[in-house]
Amino acid sequence: MTISTRIPEVAVHESEKVLFNHVCATLSELDMEVVLNVPPGGNWMNLPDTTIAKSSRLTQIKNSGGRTTYYGRLNSEMPSYTVNTYFNRPGNGTFIHPTQNRLISMREAARLQSFPDHYRFRGSLSSMYKQIGNAVPPLLARAIGEKIPKGLCVDLFCGAGGLSEGLTQAGHKTILSSDSNQNMCETFQFNNPDTKVIQSDFNKQEEVDILLENIESELSGRTLQLLTGGPPCQGFSTAGKWNPNDVRNSLLFKTIELVNELEPEYILLENVPGIQSMKKGKLLDSFLLSLGAKGYTTQTYLLKAEQFGVPQRRRRVFIVANRNSTRIDDPEVRLAPIARGKTRYDAYIEGNGYPNPVTVSEAISDLPAISSGEGQDIDEYDTDWITSDYQRLMRGIIALNEFFLKRTEQG
Ligand SMILES: C[S@@+](CC[C@H](N)C(=O)[O-])C[C@H]1O[C@@H](n2cnc3c(N)ncnc32)[C@H](O)[C@@H]1O
């Protein structure tokens, strides 16, 4: 697939007319056959035996009763399933567009992650899948960031910057961010021109030392209010291979080295729910004890992204720690959660008095129709296409408060 840049870079400033990253992956012939056979809300179980017989993976899934999210097509009327880093293939989750015969585009995935439309992903296509799928949804980060007193912030393992984007929206100021991956750093820098971005590998002590020097120089004697980060989660994630000895697990504990040096007022770390059961809960307990030994009071939250305006079922753990024994207020839940029925297939909205969560249709129905393997990295956008307040929010036309207020009034 080639990505063409139809509009010259200069037009980017007219952001209300521009759409970034609306490009989707190419489907193989067999994957297209799958896509044509799966209805909205459906999955591999809808496939005829003749199609299943053509693929060893599908045959294995059928024989072993694989997850009902595999080879899934999004349901327009519900939030999406978790957007992971594999939305380039239909067999890796529920990533088929609800009404078009293709996979979701980068921009559609970014919308499901609640990245505002001005946020532009840079680098190769394979990197963009990781940048978007690995990110903390900005609206989720914002909900928790709003409860932490504002000040200067440093973002470790910053990725494309979902966590920092939410914290910035909440009023924090990220003065420095760091990641080992060049593409991640480039996307972060492009979207946060005032932040110092340092590419450094946390597994290399000499690079950590340089990073520390840079942080101290950026702070120049000022207090670090918030040290934040999303250490890699491959070792704990239920989506990846479960490997307790994964060396990357220790990156979580390595953050304590920086805590010792920088003594931030607050710490905010994000991770997958699997961290709570890792080594029967001992891994998280021992991490919290280490922070306690440094004088930090800790709180742990398991949050449901759809309750904070994200059109996606994504569960994430947040650890908040504070040096002054202050407990932060719980993040403010605004919308109803999705509950699991007997199977994932029977998921339903758990009303409980809150307005419904944002649906896939509300999130992406304004984006232009494209064919499999097509789209533009920079394309035109027309505000006449807008059909929902969530789209207005993503385009920067209304503020988040107004969005939630209108949704509550509508019931
Ligand atoms: C879960 S992602 C972070 C997502 C980010 N917080 C966001 O909201 O966009 C983890 C990041 O850790 C980075 N990483 C992995 N190993 C690393 C290492 N040894 N040193 C520094 N960064 C590393 C990855 O490149 C990845 O961007």
C-beta of residue 167 within 8 angstroms of C-beta of residue 226: yes
In whole angstroms, give the CA distance from residue 77 to residue 361.
6
Q: What is the pLDDT of residues 208-218, one digit of tens each?
A: 999 999 999 99
Q: What is the pLDDT of residues 350-370, one digit of tens each?
A: 878 899 999 999 999 999 999
Judge: domain 9-112+340-410, CATH 3.90.120. yes
Judge: domain 129-322, CATH 3.40.50.720. no
**The one-letter amino acid at 354:** Y
In this prediction, residue 352 carries a pLDDT of 80
Average pLDDT score over residue span 381-399: 97
C-beta of residue 151 within 8 angstroms of C-beta of residue 225: yes
Minimum CA distance residue for ligand 1 atom 15: 232
Can you tell me which atom of ligand 1 is nearest the CA of 164?
8
75-to-43, 65, 71, 272 alpha-carbon distances in Å: 11, 21, 13, 24
What is the DSSP code string of 380-402?
E--GGG--SHHHHHHTTSS-HHH
For the cut 70, the answer to whether the pLDDT of residue 394 exceeds it is yes
pLDDT bin (cut points 50, 70, 90) of residue 9 is very low
Minimum CA distance residue for ligand 1 atom 26: 159
In whole angstroms, give the CA distance from residue 210 to residue 262.
14
Locate 174 and state its tokens.
């990220």
Average pLDDT score over residue span 10-26: 78
In this prediction, residue 344 carries a pLDDT of 59
Can you tell me which atom of ligand 1 is nearest the CA of 159?
27
Compare 9 and 292 and report the one with higher pLDDT: 292
First to last CA, the chain: 44
For the cut 90, the answer to whether the pLDDT of residue 45 exceeds it is yes
With a 6 Å cutoff on the Cβ, whether 201 touches ligand 1 is yes
**What mean pLDDT, rounded, does the chain reach?**
91
With a 6 Å cutoff on the Cβ, whether 159 touches ligand 1 is yes
Q: What is the pLDDT of residues 64-82, one digit of tens each?
A: 988 888 999 999 999 999 9
Average pLDDT score over residue span 2-13: 37
Close Cβ partners of 201 (under 8 Å, ≥ 6 residues apart): 180, 207
The DSSP bridge partners found for residue 79 are: none
In this prediction, residue 306 carries a pLDDT of 98
In this prediction, residue 283 carries a pLDDT of 83
The DSSP bridge partners found for residue 94 are: 72
Q: What is the pLDDT of residues 309-340, one digit of tens each?
A: 999 999 999 999 999 888 999 999 999 999 98
> Distance, CA 383 to ligand 1 centroid (Å)?
34
In this prediction, residue 351 carries a pLDDT of 78
CA atoms within 13 A on the CB side of 197: 23
Pick from 164, 225, 231, 229: nearest CA to 193: 164
Domain assignments of the chain as residue spans, ordered by start: 9-112+340-410, 129-322
Choose one of 83, 115, 130, 134 to mutate for the ligand 1 pocket test, by most ligand atoms within 8 angstroms of C-beta: 134
Which helix (H) or strand (E) segment is 269 a member of?
A: strand 266-271
In this prediction, residue 122 carries a pLDDT of 96
In whole angstroms, give the CA distance from residue 158 to residue 164.
8
Locate 83 and state its tokens.
């957007």
Locate 137 and state its tokens.
């949804």
Locate 386 and state its tokens.
């807008």
In this prediction, residue 282 carries a pLDDT of 83
Pick from 56, 32, 26: nearest CA to 126: 26
For the cut 70, the answer to whether the pLDDT of residue 388 exceeds it is yes
> Distance, CA 340 to ligand 1 centroid (Å)?
30
In this prediction, residue 243 carries a pLDDT of 57
Which amino acids are annotated catalytic? 233
In this prediction, residue 232 carries a pLDDT of 85
Per residue in 239-273, is it b (16+ CB within 10 Å) or e — as a string? Answer: ebeeeeebebbebbeebbebbeebebbbbbbbbbb
Compare 324 and 161 and report the one with higher pLDDT: 161
In this prediction, residue 152 carries a pLDDT of 98
With a 6 Å cutoff on the Cβ, whether 232 touches ligand 1 is yes
pLDDT bin (cut points 50, 70, 90) of residue 1 is very low
For the cut 80, the answer to whether the pLDDT of residue 221 exceeds it is yes
C-beta of residue 327 within 8 angstroms of C-beta of residue 58: no
In this prediction, residue 247 carries a pLDDT of 45
Average pLDDT score over residue span 11-23: 77
Choose one of 84, 140, 153, 179 to mutate for the ligand 1 pocket test, by most ligand atoms within 8 angstroms of C-beta: 179
Q: What is the pLDDT of residues 372-383, one digit of tens each?
A: 999 999 999 999
In this prediction, residue 343 carries a pLDDT of 66
With a 6 Å cutoff on the Cβ, whether 179 touches ligand 1 is yes
Q: What is the pLDDT of residues 227-275, one digit of tens each?
A: 999 998 665 555 555 555 554 557 888 899 899 999 999 999 999 998 8
Residues in the chain: 411
pLDDT bin (cut points 50, 70, 90) of residue 117 is very high
> Distance, CA 207 to ligand 1 centroid (Å)?
15
From 12-26, 87-101, 129-143, 280-294, the region with the lowest mean pLDDT: 12-26
In whole angstroms, give the CA distance from residue 198 to residue 129.
22
